[in-house]
Amino acid sequence: MIQGRIPEVTIKFNSKPDLPTEGKKVTLEIQGENNVTVKAEVNRKTLKKQVAKMDEYEDWVGALSGKIKSVSADGVIELEGAGLQVFEKKKKEPSPDSESTAA
């Protein structure tokens, strides 16, 4: 706890998770490049809806957020009360100013 509060984190990811076919709650596991793993239990229906959004968007980013429940010596961070959202990444259009300076 930090000053009596449980820290919350948001983890961004861009790889599509596997969608289990059974169970009301499923464990979502995200592994980072630095061998840190984040695990959270999420509602399977929510995961299914968010995976469907991933299929709809050309470019997307996912966000898993929740309160830190535990951190193991192996670098596994377990979240509780986790939420999952997927957002479409919009392509940035070059500003008119950058075109005139590039010429």
Q: What is the pLDDT of residues 5-56, one digit of tens each?
A: 788 999 999 988 888 878 889 999 998 878 889 999 999 999 999 999 999 9
Domain ranges in the chain are: 8-89
pLDDT of residue 80: 94
Q: What is the pTM of this model?
A: 0.78
Burial of 26 (0-12, 13-18, 19+ CB in 10 A): buried
**Residue 19 per-residue DSSP state:** -
- For the 8-89 domain, the top CATH level (class) is mainly beta
Please state, in angstroms and as integers, the Cα–Cα distance from residue 97 to each residue in 90, 91, 92, 100, following that order.
20, 18, 14, 5
